[in-house]
Every structure is written in structure tokens, then in C-alpha cells.
Structure 1
Amino acid sequence: MNKLEAFGHIAALAIRGDLVFPTSVNAALRVQMALDDPDCPIDTAISLVLSEPLLAAKTVAISNSAMFNRSGAPVVTNVRGAIMRIGYQNLYALAAAMVVRQFGSRISDPKLRQKAERLWDHTIAVAALGRLIARHVTGVNADTALFAGIVHEVGNFYLLSRADEFPGLLEEDTENWHAASEEIITREVMRKLCIPEPVAEAIEGLRDSFMSIPPDTLLDTLLLANHLTPVRSPLQEPQRELPPHTDSAIDLFIDAEKLASMLEEARRDAADMSAVLLV
């Protein structure tokens, strides 16, 4: 089965809803679905997190990381305090990150596992930088930007998780490449994972959209984070050039000193997240 056939087969399965997820994904999905309600009682959120010991441990750990405790506040030692510190949106993002990581757990081929690890590094780098870009440049919700960054490669993680079964999936096959199949797969995976529509639309827009000047949307935030991060995706096609005016225009809203500061802060935040989420 060549690449085109593999993509077509998986896309057909995706359209029918026959997506194959690791069983461990379901627990995190239950937490996500509950937290999708902003009125979810805190005691319910605590119970859900405590029912998943791994998620509980990671929630407390990330609440004590520099990313969420830059002021040197006392160490949090329980789930209630952790949720109060990081908030529902970031807990939702943490559950999503666990889902993304679990896709890599089913990969047996060493080369594919290495690609999944490099894709994870890229994902966390974009998420951390996107959060800062949202805060300092585009003005979109920083927690939403963090979540969008964490899930923006979820379609590729899913494809990597199926590559053991379809050896032709990652072959070089530029003549028969059909981007529509990849888009269908990504869309259906996001639907299965209950990714909110505004986030899903921004992720789908990454393939064909250009950043507006000045950047002021979630899509712009993701485009800019992908463009500026030094951690490239191992599955990325040669980096598409932004419009000729964009690089010079970036200087209008991010000067060199500010960009260097953001990249360093994003690097530290990504390291914190990776350390907490490593499984």
C-alpha cells in the first residue's frame, strides 16, 4: 500500500468514525468533556482529576512549575489548590496534552517513535510560544492559544500512531500527494476529541492561510508561533515562505530584544511542560 492508498484508506475510516485511539485516551477525554462546561463545579473537577492518578500528579506538578508560579508562591500540595492556580482552561489543555502524548505510546517502530518525540518537542515549543504571542502581540486569550498549540499537530500524531499498520504512510510520494486526505483525517480526529470549533478552524487554516498584519487572531498566533519557533516539525514540508512583507513587518510589533526574550521564556516554559508531561 503506497502513501496515497494509505491516506485514502485512513481518511475513509475517519469519515465513517472508525478512528482507533489508545484506550488510555478515553479517560482524559472524559475529563475534557466535563471541563468544557465553564460552570462545572470545582468539586466535580477535583473528583474527575483524582480518578485519574496520572492526571492528578501532573496537575499538581505543573501548578508548581515556573510557568504558573513565577512569583514564588507556596508550593501546592493538592489537586484543589492546583486547579485553583492553573484554572479550568489550562487543566483542559493538560488533559489534551496527555491525549496527544498517548498517541505516541502505541508506536513500536523506533524510527517512528523518534519522529513522534520530535513532533512532541515541536508541539510544546509552539504551544509555549503561542501563549506568549497571544499575551504580548495578538491579544487573543493566552490559555486558548496554549491549548491550540498543544493540539495543532494532533492529526499528524494520529497518523504516526497508525504508521506501523500502514508502512507506506510516511513514504516520499510527491507525485501522488493528496492534501485533502490529510485534512479530512485531521478534521475528524479533532471532532472525535471535541476540539472547540474556533480552535479547530484556526488549526485547519494553518495549511493555506497567511498571517494578517497586524496579527490579531488565533490563526495569526499559531502561524506566527510556527514561523518563529526554532523547533521544527519532523513531518513539516519545506517551510512555506510568508508573504515578502511579513518578516520586515514583524519588526513593527516585535522588536529584536522582545523576540529574544519571548523565545527564551518559551524555551523555559516548554521545558517545564515537557518535564511534567513526560510519560
Structure 2
Amino acid sequence: MEKEKMKDFAVIVAEAQRGELVFPTSVNAALSLQLCLADPACHDEDVIKKLLAEPVLAARAVALANSAVFRSNGAALATSVRTAVMRLGYRNLYSLAAAMVVRQFGARIIDPGLRAQAEQLWRYSAHVAALAYVIAQRITRVDADTALFAGIMHEVGGFYLLGRADTMPGLLDDRDDWLGAAQEIIAREIMKKLQVPEPVALAIVSLRGGAIGIPPQGLRDTLLLARELSPVQSPLPSRDDPGLTRSTALLQYLNEPATAALLEEAAAQAKSMSAALLV
């Protein structure tokens, strides 16, 4: 059985390395929006038309524009896609489209257990992305839009493997090193296909087994801290030892009054933001 599982993993990894990743047809609208947003000649009217052509994306854009992070200083409630586009900007809309792409990897899963894991993985990813955005703004001072995008993408390999496990029973039953390695290779190939910028991809693949610096700095630490603080846990196996992750230095840092106050505010804002991503 173990030998068969290793064979299955080898097949999936080999397919990924050959670029034979098949995306669900349901992501076409999101990929089309991403291409439009990445085009220097893209105009607001083009973006609005593409959003209106995909009701789910349109609804999420409006919900995100009304989250606490983006609706600050008493801004009026966004009631249209046009207002959402103006408020969010192209980079956050790009992240929103990426969120739909990632989530759709698990949309075709039939097995109830695997489908439940995919839903939990999406809730976890949404919380990590939202926390990363606020932590970037208030603590690590990295680009917040980049942190949001990285948070959404950081478990893309896990989503893909959950989808493949639906046709390969028992693939993810054992919590072993192979899963982590396979996730990393597959994530690299998916991010390459989605043209994820290299600095973001490098930060994501370096998360496995990583320890948070004190004080946290850079995109990698931003993601690690967001994962550590997420109220929803990933359903996928992890080789990380929680005892090592929560070092004495980290615990002291998290309990410092100034840091604790910032994190409490970040958690409140992230809760609103993650709810919008989960619409």
C-alpha cells in the first residue's frame, strides 16, 4: 500500500514538473480578469465588465470593499461593482481573482471527507491572507497587497492534492514527509503557471519548517505569523513541531503590550476581511 502511494505521488509530481496541470473550467473567468488586470492597457470599464460577467466575483469584490480594512474613515457603503473597483484597486482585485482560482481546485471534489477538508483549507487560507494583510500594514511593514496575495496562494499545492486524492483513494491518509515535498513541488509549478512573482513564490516555498524571526520581518515572517495566529487550522498534515514554532522568544514578543494591542486590532480587521473572502 505504501509503495502504491509513493507511486501515486511520483505520478502527480511528474505531471506537475511537465507542466501538465489541468485547471477547472470554472476558473476561466477569474483567469481572464487576472490577464486584464495585468495588462498595462487595461481600463476600469474592462475590469467592471469582466466582474459583472461573473456574479460570484462581483459579489466578493463588493463584500471586500465593505470590509473594515477597506471601508475606513466613515466611507460610504459600496453598493456597486464600480465603487468596489475604485476602492480596492487593481492589485487587490487581482488577489480576489487568485482566490477564486485557488478555491476552485477543490470545487469538483466528490468525496465528503475530502470536500470538508477543502472547505476548511479555504477558511484557513482566507484567515491567513487577511491576517497577513493587516500584519504587513502594522507590524512587518511589507507591502500589504503582496501579503494578501501570498496568503491566498500559500496553500495552492494542498488544494491541488486534495483534488487529486478524490480520484486516488488513500493518497493523503498518512502524515509523512512525502506530502510536504509533493506540496512544495506542485505549488511551485502551479505558481509558475499562474505567473506568481518570484519573490512571492520563494516566500511561500520557504514556509515549511520555518521559524518566525523576532521581531518578524519580510514577507516570509508575515505569512508565518499569520499562520500562527489564524483562528482556523489547516486540515493538512504538517511536519512543523508547534513546540518549536512557539518559542519562548516568540511568546514574549506576542505578549508585549504594544504587540498584543496591534495583534488584537489586526485580528478584528482580519475577521471582517476574511468574511468577505468567504462570501
TM-score, normalised relative to structure 2: 0.89
2:111 aligns with one of 109, 112, 126: 109
> What is the deviation of 1:44?
2.7
| Per-residue Cα deviation, 1:208-239 (whole angstroms, up to 9, x for no partner) | 43323322211110011111223110104264
One-letter identity of the residue aligned with 1:62: L
C-alpha spacing 1:167/1:49, structure 2 compared with 1 (3 Å): same
C-alpha spacing 1:250/1:60, structure 2 compared with 1 (3 Å): closer
Structure 2 contact 61–84 (Cα < 8 Å) conserved: yes
- Mapped to 1, the partners of 2:179 and 2:60 lie a distance apart of 39
One-letter identity of the residue aligned with 1:270: S
1:198-213 → structure 2 map (5 Å cutoff): 198-213=199-214
Number of equivalenced pairs: 274
2:261 aligns with one of 254, 257, 263: 257
Structure 2 contact 65–78 (Cα < 8 Å) conserved: yes
1:1-279 → structure 2 map (5 Å cutoff): 2-37=4-39, 40-172=42-174, 174=176, 177=178, 179-237=180-238, 239-240=240-241, 241-242=244-245, 243-251=247-255, 255-274=259-278, 276=279
Counting aligned pairs with the same residue, the percent is 52
- Mapped to 2, the partners of 1:105 and 1:122 lie a distance apart of 16
| Per-residue Cα deviation, 1:172-197 (whole angstroms, up to 9, x for no partner) | 153x7364333211111111222221
SS state of the match for residue 104, structure 1?
Answer: coil
C-alpha spacing 1:118/1:94, structure 2 compared with 1 (3 Å): same
- Mapped to 1, the partners of 2:63 and 2:105 lie a distance apart of 22
Instruction: Give unpaired runs (5+ residues) of structure 1.
Output: none
- Mapped to 1, the partners of 2:66 and 2:256 lie a distance apart of 35
- Mapped to 2, the partners of 1:182 and 1:13 lie a distance apart of 13
Structure 2 contact 128–230 (Cα < 8 Å) conserved: yes
One-letter identity of the residue aligned with 1:153: E
TM-score, normalised relative to structure 1: 0.89
Instruction: Give unpaired runs (5+ residues) of structure 2.
Output: none
| Per-residue Cα deviation, 1:147-206 (whole angstroms, up to 9, x for no partner) | 1111111110111111111113212153x7364333211111111222221111111110
> What is the deviation of 1:74?
2.7
Structure 2 contact 95–148 (Cα < 8 Å) conserved: yes
- Mapped to 2, the partners of 1:86 and 1:215 lie a distance apart of 27
**How well do the aligned residues superpose, as a CA RMSD in angstroms?**
2.2
